[in-house]
Amino acid sequence: MLQKNEIYETEITGMTTEGSGVCKIDSMAVFVPMTAIGDKLKVKIVKVLKNYAFGIIDELLKFGTGRVTPDCPVFRQCGGCVFRHVDYQTELQYKSQFVKDAFSRIGKLNPVFEPILGGENRNFYRNKAQYPVAMKDNKLVCGFYAKHSHRVIAFQDCYLHPPIFQEILNYLLPALQKANISAYDELSHTGELRHIYLRKGYHSGEIMLCFITRKSIHKKLNFLLDLQNKFPDIVSISESVNSEKTNVIMGKKVKLLTGKNFIIDTMCENQIKISPQSFYQVNTAQAEQLYQIAKHYADLQGNELVLDLYCGAGTIGLSMADSIKKLIGVEVIPEAVENAKENARQNKIFNAEFYCGDAGMISKKLLEQKLSPDIVILDPPRKGCDSMTIQSVINMQPDKIIMISCNPATCARDSAIFAENHYMIEKVKAVDLFPSTTHVECIVLMSRK
């Protein structure tokens, strides 16, 4: 029987989707963070549960495949990157296996897996950051949450974010402090500034800044002109008041303070308008690759009706619009739908319609109206599709379904339902949209039998 605080010599043989190495000691699975498959090590047991246990590295005896020295000083504390201790090839092998395991274990499916597509850039690829703010030693700081907690690690020099974000924060934090703005304290639900939200168009360079606050601070922001003079790429500054006790970052409304209430970027050669509330893939270059794979899977002939469910600002469907007859997009966030409509107009795309509402409710309505799309694209949030959406899509009988997901587990679960209802899972490809983290995107092509 495993004992807490005891040290055991062992080898890491697997990797969980949370990024913990797994070893077996006394036929019990033990999870050890920050290890690599093939590591030989001494593990100190820190917690024993009924069926598994947790350990930490006591001593590394032999490096596993792909181990490297982590390059980030806060890698151990920060909850962002999980794979900075292995090289990128090794990370990609892990992620490829995550997707395969999800389909075989959860979906009980055995599709063809195309090779994982890695990102060109492992660093500085994100176009968005939401920094939690805190007060430390009488100083206003921001950074990242520590692993599994809401304790702020004051650190801005992040390898995943565009370097200009750090320059902006270096200006912003002292200016905010001088303007007497206090940091939000989650425990006592007091203070003002909760998060600093920055987003940058990957191709355009346009930057959006949004202050997320518990109570409005906009009257105290006496430095905005100076800020914009220093950083002319900041074209949009807004505030979103969120006075709730919640983990949700954004408030319900966004008030524009200066500039325009969106930024523009290009994606797959379309100009895309993005509001603070709209979902926009965080890794633009890699998302463009993903959309191209989707287009390739769709194998468009020119006369298709395409239904794009969970369409956000319309990016996927609009990237196909010139090669199809008609596009219908569905999205629940009103601002994103407005963006999608504008994006169609701006790019002179006249064969696209967008509806605002729940994907399940709207697809059910469209089914009742006898809509019969040739291709359905599904790009749901992490929790996957609900049964109303899946049933409606099955009953629409499209020739092809292309599912894109940032959660291989729910993607495999939902694919299995299609597989039981006349669809063949043709192929699955993992695409790494989130290098250095545990997250991985996957895309599935299904065709009607």
Burial of 446 (0-12, 13-18, 19+ CB in 10 A): buried
Q: Interface with ligand SAH by CB under 6 A: which range of 46-54, 135-143, 236-244, 310-318?
A: 310-318
Q: Which is nearer to ligand SAH, 134 or 403 (CB)?
A: 403
Residue among 379, 383, 387 nearest 420 (CA): 387
Smallest separation (angstroms) from ligand SAH to the CB of 382: 9
Q: In whole angstroms, how close is the CB of 293 to ligand SAH at the nearest point?
A: 12
Among 159, 211, 310, 355, binds ligand SAH (CB under 6 A): 310
Other Cβ atoms less than 10 A from the Cβ of 368: the count is: 10
Closest to 89 in 3D by CA, of 37, 40, 14, 21: 37
The footprint of ligand SAH on residues 345-384 (CB under 6 A) is: 358-359, 379-381
Q: Which of 99, 316, 327, 446 binds ligand SAH (CB under 6 A)?
A: 316
> Which of the following is catalytic: 142, 158, 311, 406?
406
Taking a C-beta distance cutoff of 8 angstroms, is the pair 152, 141 a contact? yes
Query: In the structure, how many helices (H) and strands (E) does the chain have?
Result: 9, 23
Least Å distance, CB 431 to ligand SAH, is 12
Q: What is the largest CA-CA distance in the chain?
A: 68
Q: How far is the CB of 278 from ligand SAH (least distance, A)?
A: 7
One character per residue 130-169, x = contact with ligand SAH (rule: CB under 6 A): ----------------------------------------
What is the C-alpha to C-alpha distance for residues 156 and 172, in angstroms, rounded to an integer? 12
Residue 431's DSSP bridge partners are 117, 441
Residue nearest to ligand SAH (CB): 312
Q: Which two tokens stand for residue 219?
A: 């009257």
Q: What is the footprint of ligand SAH within residues 259-288 (CB under 6 A)?
A: 279-281
Beta-bridge partner residues of 212: 195, 240
Q: Is 336 in the site for ligand SAH (CB under 6 A)?
A: yes
Query: Counting contacts by CB under 6 A, is residue 239 touching ligand SAH?
Result: no
**How many residues line the site for ligand SAH (CB under 6 A)?**
18
Nearer to ligand SAH, 227 or 268 (CB): 268
Kind and range of the H or E run holding 257: strand 255-259
**Binding of ligand SAH by 332 (CB under 6 A):** yes
Candidate segments 92-100, 121-129, 164-172, 326-334, binder of ligand SAH by CB under 6 A:
326-334
- Residue 427 per-residue DSSP state: E
Pairwise CA distance, residues 347 & 324, whole Å:
15
Task: Specify whether 406 is catalytic.
Answer: yes
Judged by DSSP in three states, 389 sits in helix
**What distance in Å separates the CA atoms of residue 225 and residue 211, rounded to the nearest whole number?**
15
Instruction: Please give the positions annotated as active site.
Output: 406
Q: Can you give the binding site for ligand SAH, defined by CB under 6 A?
A: 279-281, 310-312, 315-316, 330-333, 336, 358-359, 379-381
